[in-house]
Amino acid sequence: MKLPEFSVKRRVTASMLAMILVVIGVLSFTRLGLDFFPDIEYPTVSVVTTYPGASSEDVENTLTKPLEQVVSSVNRVKKVGSSSLEGVSTISIEFEWGTNLDFAAQDVRDQIGVYKQMLPEEASDPLVVKFNLGQMPVVFFGVTAKRPLFELKKLIEDEVTPRLERLDGVAAAPVFATDAREILVEVDKAALEAQRLSLDAILMALRMENTNQPAGNIVERHSDFLVRTLGELRDLEDIGAVVVGLSAAGLPVHIRDVARVKDTVKESRYTARIDGQRGVFLIVTKRSGANTAIAGRAVERELAQVRRALPEDIVFSKVMDQAEMIQSVTSRTVRDAVFGGLLAIGLIFLFLRNWRPTFVISLAIPLSIVTTFIAFNLAGYTLNLLTLGGLALGIGMLVDNAIVVIENMFRHLEGGASPDRAAIVGASEVGMAITASTLTTIAVFFPMIFARGITGKLTQGLSLAVAFSLISSLFVALTVVPLFASLLFKKRGGNAPSMGRSGPKFDAAKAFYRRLLETALRRRGRVLAAVLGLFVLSLVVFFFLAGTEFMPS
């Protein structure tokens, strides 16, 4: 039994199957993520090493060049680039597309681990970082207040960050400030020389005194107590009381005897302003695979509650909200797709001038789109600019199969067949034709799935969106369309549906097309020569285009 025959003769079963697909499609839609672009992981690993106080030339000679030679031997490395700035070395390692970045980053760490012992003592351990678009901030706030920046940073870290990081979909909410608190020990050179001490003695004393040490445990009756000595310096007086050494008379010399201890701000070479005021930055990132829009809205709601408990002088200014951008772009794309679908239905009604076939054909659009969400969910895709664009692109093609089926059904209906018979025979006769037509359209987009590199990552969602929607429309045309046609269409008679094929305007257009077709058939050589000439002209014009670029400006 063919699909159209099954749908017409088993109407309840076919209706239930269609409703099941709709329900599963709606559930799949609720589980789809919403992003601006697909989750793209560039095959790039960066190695960042800091060397405070070193010039760019020293950084290049002692860090960048040796590390470049080390990482170049890692497997599947395509290109290595670097930059040496004052105090910072950055090496960018680009791998072949398709490389597992987790393994690649671990290989880089292993290679660097061998050379790490040869780095200058003042240099930090090389930091290996993978680049991923998903790590970009979801929401970026600037925070200002009438208080020192390091106090504001600590307040945000204590009161705001923990509550945001508990939200579903939020990975981290770090706070950045250009000012950092610093305890400055300002040594008096003359006093230090008078006590015959050195700066190294002060450094060693501070290191040794500013520690908490374990002291074993004490067992008393049935209890076991962990004991430790608390030696961390808590305030300026504790620092001043640290013993540096002994004087010539054998008396202890404290830091306060040879230096002044100040609670100050670390020297900064940068400044940041939010609306003309100095402030700190709160950056919220999402977890991998989380819905950006949902995470952004959750942050907004939680922050609105947190603000009630904060001092009144603290002001949050939104610098960037990726969720708003995504909502704006996706809503416009969906709106354009809806308008496109309504225009397609309007044009169909304009030609058919009957609500029955127009209604049956228009069912193909929402049913095909809802069914496509099932494929998106199974394939692990999100709703983004490209997948939604693929759906919008496919909307105009979704009704093609239904129109062909309806036209053939109506032809049999005009021949005197019953609605059931017309639905079964009409859909069965063109079933192979619309299947071949759908597959040829899919064949145009399908090779895009195998594209490599970032182009493949961007186009896979679009091509699969078109392919999934067309397959869904084919299924709808062979099942749902015959079912509803058998219910709504009536045998030719007083209430028979008119397909709008009569009328002076339609007859005039048909006569014009007939004359044009007859002329083309009589002068085949000229028509073929004109088509070939246009093809050659298009190839010539192609070389005079302004140029090519990956993304529009």
3-state secondary structure 374-397: HHHHHHCCCECHHHHHHHHHHHHH
- Answering whether pTM is above 0.85, one says no
- Quote the Cα angle for 212-216-222, to 5°: 130
Residue 490 carries which DSSP code? -
Residue with tokens 């929401």: 139
- 393, 341 contact by CB (below 8 A): no
- 73, 133 contact by CB (below 8 A): no
Q: Determine the 3-state secondary structure of 210 from DSSP.
A: coil
Per-residue burial over 465-476, b if 16 or more Cβ lie within 10 Å, else e, is bbbbbbbbbbbb
List all residues 6 or more positions away from 442 whose beta carbon is below 8 Å from its beta carbon.
466, 467, 470, 471
- Residues lower than pLDDT 50 in the chain: 494-497
pLDDT on residue 134 = 61
pLDDT on residue 119 = 81
> How many angstroms separate the CA atoms of 352 and 373, rounded?
30
pLDDT on residue 495 = 45
CA distances, 501 to each of 268, 407, 504 (Å):
80, 11, 10
How does pLDDT run across 306-347, given as a tens digit for each residue? 888 888 888 898 888 887 877 787 777 778 778 877 887 888
- Residue 101: is it exposed, middle or buried by C-beta count within 10 angstroms (0-12/13-18/19+)? middle
β-strands 252-254, 243-246 pairing:
antiparallel
pLDDT on residue 133 = 63
Q: Torsions phi, psi of 126, nearest 5?
A: -60, 130
